[in-house]
């Protein structure tokens, strides 16, 4: 799979990366090589491979699930700029 120069320019704009027109040809080739490698990897039969959560045979040490801090919500809400019904009110950032 390869990407043409228009697609490279569009991806660069979406990623907010400045790519010079003279670099789009080489970048197109390099990204195409990566996508070809991904295609080869996807063609490998992994139906008999057991999924693993960790590439090492390590076991994570777990601590007891116990409350170790006191509830200070009321104190923190007294110093917060705006609260309502136990929630923090913040300015809307997504329309």
Q: What is the pLDDT of residue 17?
A: 92
At residue 1 the predicted structure's pLDDT band, cuts being 50, 70 and 90, is low
* Segment 36-62, tens digit of pLDDT: 999 999 999 999 988 887 778 777 788
Please report which residue ranges of 24-87 form alpha helices under DSSP H: 24-42, 73-79
As a whole number of angstroms, the distance between CA 1 and CA 29 comes to 10
Digit-coded pLDDT (tens) for 4-13 = 888 888 988 9
pLDDT at 69 over 80: yes
Residue 50 Rama label (left phi>0; alpha psi -120 to 50; beta): beta
- Report the pLDDT value the prediction gives residue 50, as an integer from 0 to 100: 86
């Amino acid at each position: 799979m390869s990407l043409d120069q228009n697609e490279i320019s569009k991806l660069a704009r979406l990623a907010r990366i400045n790519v010079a027109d003279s670099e789009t040809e080489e970048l197109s080739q390099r990204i195409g090589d990566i996508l070809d490698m991904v295609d080869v990897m996807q063609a490998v039969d992994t139906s008999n491979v057991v999924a693993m959560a960790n590439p090492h045979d390590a076991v994570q040490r777990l601590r007891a699930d116990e409350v170790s801090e006191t509830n200070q919500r009321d104190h923190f809400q007294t110093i917060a700029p705006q609260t309502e019904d136990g929630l923090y009110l913040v300015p809307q950032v997504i329309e």
